[in-house]
């Protein structure tokens, strides 16, 4: 059982509203839930924002964090896939992924590889997705 925080605009929400799952990987925590003006703009378009509190994030406590890191990183990624599958089968048929940090980008990209037909869109920051820049800045 993975808790998920869901935010939506009651006036704009319909049964066809797409869901955007945010993941920041190991950097995920309560700070993800802070006010951001761009998130309000998405809500005004009828997009539902979902924040899965995966094992390996800092949402709950240190033990929760440790259950999804190092040797258990696959549990973190599988939690994301499981939450996505649940939302897709029970609530929506349109899922997107958003991540603005490399750790979350790894979670997002791994989830897409594990379930390629599940997600309709992804906006992901990860050096792996831009190999020339990654090699240039890390050489």
Question: pLDDT of 14-55, one tens digit each?
Answer: 888 899 988 876 555 555 656 666 677 888 888 898 888 777
What's this model's pTM, rounded to 2 decimal places?
A: 0.76
Cα–Cα distance, 91 to 76 (Å, whole number): 22
Q: Are strands 95-99 and 4-7 parallel, antiparallel or unpaired?
A: unpaired
Rg of the chain taking only CA atoms, in angstroms: 15
Handedness of CA 120, 121, 126, 130 (dihedral sign): positive
Element (DSSP H or E) covering residue 107: helix 102-114
- Distance, in Å, from the CA atom of 89 to the CA atom of 29, rounded to the nearest integer, reads 26
Domain 4-137 listed as CATH 3.40.50.1820 = yes
Domain residue ranges in the chain: 4-137
What pLDDT score does 61 carry? Answer: 72
């Amino acid at each position: 059982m993975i808790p998920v925080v869901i935010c939506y605009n009651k006036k704009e929400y319909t049964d066809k509203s797409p869901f955007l799952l945010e993941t920041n990987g190991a950097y995920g925590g309560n700070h993800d839930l802070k006010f951001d003006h761009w998130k309000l703009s998405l809500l005004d378009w009828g997009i539902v924002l979902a924040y899965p509190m995966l094992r390996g994030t800092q949402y709950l406590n240190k033990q929760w964090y440790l259950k999804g890191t190092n040797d258990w990183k696959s549990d973190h990624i599988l939690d994301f896939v499981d939450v996505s599958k649940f939302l897709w089968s029970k609530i929506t048929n349109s899922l997107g992924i958003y991540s603005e940090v490399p750790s979350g980008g790894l979670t997002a990209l791994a989830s897409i590889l594990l379930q390629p037909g599940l997600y309709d869109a992804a906006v992901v920051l990860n050096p792996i997705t831009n190999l020339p820049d990654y090699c240039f800045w890390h050489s």
